[in-house]
Amino acid sequence: MNANELKLHLDNKDKNHICSKSDIGYVTLPLLMLSQKLLTNIGDLLDTQYNMSNSELDVLASLHSAHDEKHTLTPTKLYERLFFSSGGMTKVLKKLEQKKFINRLDNEVDKRSKLVQLTSSGKDILERSLSDVIDLEEEIFAHINADERKKLSDLMFKVLEFTK
């Protein structure tokens, strides 16, 4: 179903329909569709251009934003930041290590674990891929002017502020 079909469906919903008591579908359904399209388009871009997944990009970006100059975090910090499971994080880290985008280093503080460090090639692929992702997002939102973007952003943050 495309956006026009969804709007038409919502506009013509039967008053006896299970969801007829609320118009929240006008907000949530387009938001869900947009989120899915964004994730799909970004995933396709990353896969085709960089042989990388959204999860791999998220890990590289988290390492880049680490508070130390070495761009290093523990796997635990990474999966807490990104809401990954421990097993899911291990799988992503193995792929990134095979691609030489990260290094696994001995942890001087905790000998039982390794640290994860962004490599220079990891930083390079992050910068290039993130630039392309931003270009794609700009293209998707090109028909919305700066004031509309600000209003949309403010509204989304307002909802997030009151969400558990």
* Structural domain includes residue 17: no
* Structural domain includes residue 130: yes
Q: Read off the pTM.
A: 0.81
* Structural domain includes residue 36: no
- Determine the structural domain holding residue 137 and report its residue range: 53-161
Domain of 100: which CATH number? 1.10.10.10
Total number of domains constituting the chain: 1
* Structural domain includes residue 16: no
pLDDT in tens, 70-105: 899 988 889 888 988 888 899 999 999 999 999 999
pLDDT in tens, 7-36: 666 666 655 555 566 777 778 888 999 999
* Cβ 30 vs Cβ 6: under 8 Å: yes
pLDDT at residue 14, as a whole number: 54
* Structural domain includes residue 140: yes
* Structural domain includes residue 62: yes
* Structural domain includes residue 123: yes
Instruction: Determine the Cα–Cα distance for residues 104 and 90; give it in Å rounded to an integer.
Output: 12
* Structural domain includes residue 31: no
